[in-house]
Amino acid sequence: MWNISSRRAMAESVVLELTVETLGAAGDGVAHHAGLRYYIADALPGDRLRVRVTGKRGDGFAAETVERLAEGPHRAKPACRHFNDCGGCAAQHLDGGYYDDWKRQKVIDALARRGLGDIEVAPLIRTAPGLRRRATFHAQHRRQNEHRRQNERSKADAFVGFQARASHRIVSIGECPLLLPALVALVEPLRGLFGGLLKPGGRAEAMLTQVLGGIDMLIIAVKSPDLDQCRQLVEFADKCDLARVSWRAQGDPDPELIVLRRPVQVDFAGTAVDLPAGGFLQPSAEGEAGLRGIVMAAMADANHIADLYAGCGALSFPLSGHARVHAVEGSAAMTAAIDRAAGRAGLAGRITSETRDLDRQPLLAKELARFDAVVFDPPRGGAKHQADALAESDVPLVVALSCNPASFARDARILIDGGYVLDGVQPLDQFLWTAHVEVAAIFRRGH
């Protein structure tokens, strides 16, 4: 009788015929054979495939399709020619209805794992493609032997794009239906830029954000730039009409300003707020508006609101139209941006800010007593310690936003165990065709 090691060795040496049974959390088709699990990209339930195993993955194996023998009923034509090579998207092969159900089910499953399977989850709200206002492109200088002739540079001196699925290999893209056209238009110029900035084989990242003043670019690289690299960046900013260029060396907490050609600002409820280099901003203005609408409707009657993990004030400024708002954020650069904007707009008396690491030092029950509503929008790890403190407080209304259903469900369980009632959950998708889904939920103190 073969043991599990023998079966695994056999699995990696042959081509298998599999029928995909389910869609996994990352968007891969999942199939089983001889007691082993296989994850197959660009596959969906009902597909019958011949696959080749490419390596170990988690509790099973990754596999690639050699031949599709039969198609499942929910396949759609991908919107991008780079799909299934570029790792930016995982689910362009799903038709709209199945895709929406898959993302909604991710939220339902996360809640069920915390014993909240009876919570009502609304239908998914999905943003449109072509509206993403920020992107981080990976870049790598082409090695010398990749040029056609020794010592001669080609027009494209660097690979620029996104990393391949489960790989550090860069897929040099020519299109991206997710992004604003102005961001995609910079890909070709960036190839030439990084060809001059980087040494052969060197890597870096370019974080691009569309703001009121144009496009803001932050370079992330191993070392700080030298004078020649700074000169190249200034020339590039002039040539491509960028608003600002900054550089952050790995390990340095603060970016270095290279050139500022125009103010870099975002508009929150008619107030222009300075955006720090690398500062948090929702991926799309449309997605931001969707989340804002949920929060504003829930807090229409609140008079004193705590905006926790406030970023640069995307919620604080709209909420200040009818309430006093205390914005708490871990980044001093972002709280400073809130203060400057509030001062310019005459809102210093309605918006206050505090720089505070809420994971290490959450607002405690006695500090929360002055607020009649709290909204929190933490990073992917969630807000466990803040949720613990809220569960011990008497705040009557809490609105939770999250980009991770798993950490949201954990925090929701804490609040419910502390006496809150969850009105319902709204999933929102502004990370189109990825495995990510955002959540908005309203909690009220039980009576």
Q: Which residues contact 56 (CB under 8 A, 6 or more apart)?
A: 62
d(Cα 315, Cα 320) in Å, to the nearest integer? 9
Strand duo 304-308 + 373-376: pairing? parallel
Strand duo 36-40 + 60-70: pairing? parallel
Instruction: Check if 240 is active-site.
Output: no
d(Cα 79, Cα 298) in Å, to the nearest integer? 36
The structure tokens listed for 433 are 């065709």
Amino acid at 348: A
Under 8 Å between Cβ of 217 and 242: yes
Strands of the sheet containing 125-126, edge to edge, are 125-126, 420-429, 438-445, 397-402, 373-376, 304-308, 324-329, 351-355
Among residues 80, 86, 312, 403, the one annotated as catalytic is 403
Under 8 Å between Cβ of 201 and 143: yes
103-129 exposure pattern, b = at least 16 Cβ within 10 A, e = fewer: bbbbbbebbeebebeebebeebbbbeb
The structure tokens listed for 53 are 């195993």
CA-CA distances (angstroms) from residue 82 to 173, 175, 390? Answer: 7, 8, 45
Return the active site residues.
403
